Structure 1
């Protein structure tokens, strides 16, 4: 069994990247208009605030577009594979590096299902035997660690679940499997941090206004 990102998944990532770029352009234009009004001394403090907010949003969109662009490139060369004896993975790590592994079923100690909401992933833990055949690489350098985190990158959620369940079926009975039967936590929505950012912006705008009103009263 082998999983690779589908073309439609890659196209979806490209659409997301383009939307971030469009958003960056719109926020930049709004920041320019607000900055112009500020230079004309029209609602100076309000324009200063909105110039800063729109500028921040533009930079944020550009960063997200860059991150999504890297995901598009990475999705084309990453894969998950199960054969009769082992699990093989190639996936991106940080700073443009790649991590990969081949872990044999009979050298696994346990499989731990990820419990973070909305993030499909699981961990494979190998034994400490000095003569083990399993290996974990970061780029081309072999790592001494025993834990490898397998993440869903550009794969459909159901396909990743089926892959995980297939792995649990393939491993020998001595391997401990820690997790649930249906992986429902993977289907939940991730916590939206953007809401807190928006709330912070709103409060930064409203609190000075309220304080000014209280001073007048």
Structure 2
């Protein structure tokens, strides 16, 4: 009986997996492209940073903290007008990527800042002693040294945001997490829910393995 239920739900499960993939393929590149500059700005503008700007740092820091303090469910609902303005609708897989991107940028930018703080200041001082500009120091030294840590942080973000697909169902976003809840909680199809959870576990393990291998390749010490 359970096997029949799983077989019947397989097309819907694959569609849900595709929706999760769409969310990640839209959210992750946008988050990385936006969060790295924000994280660099937080690092550079902090007291004792490469280019201290206390007021700017306070503003950016406050905005990042504000976004990160919102539970994703509340952020999802609060951003409905903005989402509708950007994509023309507040319902669907593409619509849910708007609050996902906002949350991911704040989430990852804090990781980026912490990754940069872990870099040996002597490396930066050596680059500047050789005449490198501040922009050159950031691009050619700072971000290069931080690549393994950045790869690890991006992996953590991707794994964390897979779980948000369960909340995405509230606005018709779909996703494998929403699929598991609908079948396991609303329809009492335990076998289907377990199958969906297994798919999520496999997906997370693949992403984690890819991220770990990427970080090792980028680490010059290994």
Could you state the TM-score of these two structures normalised by the residue count of structure 1? Answer: 0.31
User: Which has more strand, going by share of residues?
Assistant: 1
Q: Rg larger in 1 or in 2?
A: 1
